[in-house]
Chains A and B, each alone.
Chain A
Amino acid sequence: MRITQGTFSFLPDLTDAEIAAQIDYALRQGWSVSVEHTDDPHPRNVYWEMWGMPMFDLKDAAGAMMEIKACRRTFPSHYVKVNAFEATQGWESTRLSFIVQRPAAEPGFRVVRQEVAGRAVRYTVESYAVDRPEGSRY
Chain B
Amino acid sequence: MTDTAIHATPPEATGAPGSVDLAALARETGVPDVLDELERDLVGLAPVKARIRDIAALLLVDRGRRLVGLPAEPPSLHMCFTGNPGTGKTTVAMRMAEILHRLGYVRKGHLIAVTRDDLVGQYIGHTAPKTREVLKRAMGGVLFVDEAYYLYRPENERDYGQEAIEILLQVMENQRDDLVVILAGYKDRMDTFFQSNPGMASRIAHHIDFPDYGADELYSISGLMLAKMGYRLAPDAQDAMREYIARRIAQPHFANARSIRNALDRARLRQASRLVAATGRSVSRDDLATLTAADIRASRVFDA
Q: Which residues of A contact B (CB under 8 A)?
A: 52, 55, 57-64, 66-67
A55 to B132, CA, bound (A): 11
Q: Which of B129, B139, B179 has the most CB of A within 10 A?
A: B139
Contact of A62 with B178 in the complex, beta carbons under 8 Å: yes
B165 interfacial contact with A, CB 8 Å: no
Q: Which residue of chain A has its CB nearest to the CB of B177?
A: A62
Q: Which residue of chain B has its CB nearest to the CB of A64?
A: B136
B141 interfacial contact with A, CB 8 Å: yes
- Residue pairs across A and B with Cβ atoms less than 8 A apart, 29 shown, are A52-B129, A55-B136, A57-B137, A58-B136, A58-B137, A58-B139, A59-B110, A59-B137, A59-B139, A59-B140, A60-B107, A60-B139, A60-B141, A60-B178, A61-B140, A62-B107, A62-B139, A62-B140, A62-B175, A62-B178, A62-B179, A63-B136, A63-B139, A63-B140, A64-B136, A66-B132, A66-B135, A66-B139, A66-B175
List residues of chain B with CB within 8 A of the CB of A61: 140
Measured CB to CB, the closest approach of chain B to A64, in angstroms, equals 8
Measured CB to CB, the closest approach of chain B to A35, in angstroms, equals 11
Measured CB to CB, the closest approach of chain B to A70, in angstroms, equals 9
List residues of chain A with CB within 8 A of the CB of B139: 58-60, 62-63, 66
Q: Which of A52, A57, A63, A67 has the most CB of B within 10 A?
A: A63
B242 interfacial contact with A, CB 8 Å: no
Number of interface residues of B (CB under 8 A): 14
List residues of chain B with CB within 8 A of the CB of A55: 136
B108 interfacial contact with A, CB 8 Å: yes
List residues of chain A with CB within 8 A of the CB of B179: 62
Contact of A63 with B129 in the complex, beta carbons under 8 Å: no
Residues 106-147 of chain B, each 1 if its beta carbon lies under 8 Å from chain A, else 0: 011010000000000000000001001001110111000000
Measured CB to CB, the closest approach of chain A to B11, in angstroms, equals 24
- Known pairs A55-B136, A66-B136, A66-B175; A60 contacts B108 (CB<8 A): yes
A89 to B107, CA, bound (A): 29
List residues of chain B with CB within 8 A of the CB of A66: 132, 135-136, 139, 175
A64 to B132, CA, bound (A): 11
Measured CB to CB, the closest approach of chain B to A27, in angstroms, equals 9
Contact of A60 with B175 in the complex, beta carbons under 8 Å: no
Q: Which residue of chain B has its CB nearest to the CB of A52?
A: B129
A61 to B135, CA, bound (A): 12
A64 to B107, CA, bound (A): 15
Other 5 A-B pairs with CB < 8 A, given A58-B136, A59-B108, A67-B136: A60-B108, A60-B140, A60-B178, A62-B140, A63-B140
List residues of chain B with CB within 8 A of the CB of A52: 129
A61 to B107, CA, bound (A): 10
Residues 75-115 of chain B, each 1 if its beta carbon lies under 8 Å from chain A, else 0: 00000000000000000000000000000000110100000
A52 to B107, CA, bound (A): 25
A52 to B108, CA, bound (A): 24
Contact of A63 with B135 in the complex, beta carbons under 8 Å: yes
List residues of chain B with CB within 8 A of the CB of A62: 107, 136, 139-140, 175, 178-179
Q: Which of B129, B136, B139 has the most CB of A within 10 A?
A: B136
A66 to B179, CA, bound (A): 13
A127 to B286, CA, bound (A): 80
Q: Which residue of chain A has its CB nearest to the CB of B135?
A: A63
Measured CB to CB, the closest approach of chain A to B138, in angstroms, equals 8
Measured CB to CB, the closest approach of chain B to A26, in angstroms, equals 14
Pairs of residues from A and B, 7 with the lowest C-beta to C-beta distance, nearest first: A60-B140, A63-B136, A62-B139, A62-B178, A63-B139, A59-B108, A60-B139
A56 to B20, CA, bound (A): 42
Residues 201-213 of chain B, each 1 if its beta carbon lies under 8 Å from chain A, else 0: 0000000000000
